[in-house]
């Protein structure tokens, strides 16, 4: 049975939920997620969000820190845009209901943490469960919205595309590749067709393909593979985050130890 929507969003983390909430006033939205809706990398993020919020901070300082940490690999235009937009988007999260930690000295201000690569305290956080708090609020708002449906335990298999190539002799005159939605394996192991005018991939990265990682089990690069099969060009695939501090147990999953621990002065010994 086909399902038709205006927007199909694959993934239920911060990217997919935020996009869904933004476009839900313009049409119907289906959010497809392969496990329970909270099983996202967002939900496991601890440290916080870097943003220019302190009186001793500035956009120029944040941009400088980022470019230095990037060691020549950053796209400066993108860096500037992300950093300049940061405070506005943090304010939006607060207005939506995200409860970031407040300063113990004056609750009018946020408690800003320190993390690696930053010359100022600019990490806004919700204790050491920032991602869980953001995910909680975004999910609540999505579930309350009449135009949004969330399909848990639905695994997107492949995008539905139509490629058209027009040839003149041996030369390509025009190439089009349109996406109409996705084939999805539902919770009863039936393949369903989800059709949409717009399809957005918000499936995260590939960290869990490695044995040792702090990434959750869902980070297996499904969306990247689907995009590649549909003809998308992949870039920068060598960049995979490996968090430097985890609590190791031989009979259990690695447990992330937040970057904030080192930012606040913690030292690694016997490493």
pLDDT at site 70: 95
Give residue limits of the domains in the chain: 49-124
Give the residue-averaged pLDDT of 220-230.
95
Close Cβ partners of 189 (under 8 Å, ≥ 6 residues apart): none
In which band, very low, low, confident or very high, does the pLDDT at 214 lie, cut at 50, 70 and 90?
confident
Residue 223 predicted with pLDDT over 90: yes
User: Element (H or E) spanning 174, and its range?
Assistant: strand 171-185
- 20 closest CA partner among 34, 9, 11, 32: 9
- Provide mean pLDDT across the span 33-57: 95
Q: Is residue 9 classed as helix, strand or coil in its secondary structure?
A: strand
Q: For residues 231-239, give the mean pLDDT.
A: 92
Phi-psi group of 26: left, alpha or beta (phi > 0 → left; psi -120 to 50 → alpha; rest → beta) = alpha
Query: Is-above-0.85 flag for pTM?
Result: yes
pLDDT, position 228:
94
C-alpha 226/C-alpha 215 separation (Å) is 20
Letter string b/e over residues 182-213, b meaning 16 or more CB atoms within 10 A of that residue's CB: bebebeeeeebebebebbbbbbbbbbbeeeeb
Question: What is the model's pLDDT at position 271?
Answer: 62
pLDDT tens-place string over residues 146-186: 999 999 999 999 999 986 444 445 555 555 678 999 999 99
| Average pLDDT, rounded, for the chain | 92
241 CA to centre of own chain = 13
pLDDT of residue 173: 53
Residue 31's pLDDT band (boundaries 50, 70, 90)? very high
Distance, in Å, from the CA atom of 224 to the CA atom of 11, rounded to the nearest integer, reads 12
């Amino acid at each position: 049975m086909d399902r038709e929507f205006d927007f199909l969003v694959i993934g239920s983390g911060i990217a997919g939920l935020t996009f869904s909430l933004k476009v839900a006033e313009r049409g119907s939205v289906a959010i497809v997620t392969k496990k329970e809706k909270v099983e996202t990398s967002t939900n496991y993020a601890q440290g916080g969000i870097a943003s220019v919020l302190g009186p001793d901070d500035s956009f120029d300082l944040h941009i400088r820190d980022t470019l230095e940490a990037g060691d020549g690999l950053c796209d400066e235009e993108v860096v500037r845009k992300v950093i300049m937009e940061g405070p506005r988007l943090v304010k939006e999260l607060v207005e939506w209901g995200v409860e970031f930690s407040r300063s113990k000295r004056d609750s009018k201000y946020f408690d800003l943490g320190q993390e690696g690569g930053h010359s100022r305290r600019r990490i806004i956080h919700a204790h050491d469960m920032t991602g869980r708090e953001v995910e909680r609020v975004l999910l609540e708002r999505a579930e309350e919205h009449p135009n949004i449906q969330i399909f848990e335990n639905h695994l997107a298999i492949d995008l539905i595309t139509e490629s058209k190539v027009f040839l003149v002799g041996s030369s390509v005159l025009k190439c089009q590749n349109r996406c109409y939605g996705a084939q999805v394996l539902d919770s009863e192991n039936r393949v369903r067709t989800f059709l949409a005018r717009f399809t957005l991939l918000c499936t995260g990265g590939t960290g869990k393909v490695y044995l040792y990682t702090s990434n959750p089990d869902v980070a297996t690069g499904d969306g990247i593979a689907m995009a590649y099969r549909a003809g998308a060009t992949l870039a920068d695939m060598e960049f995979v985050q490996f968090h430097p501090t985890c609590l190791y147990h031989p009979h259990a999953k690695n447990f992330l130890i937040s970057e904030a621990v080192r930012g606040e002065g913690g030292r690694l010994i016997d490493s």
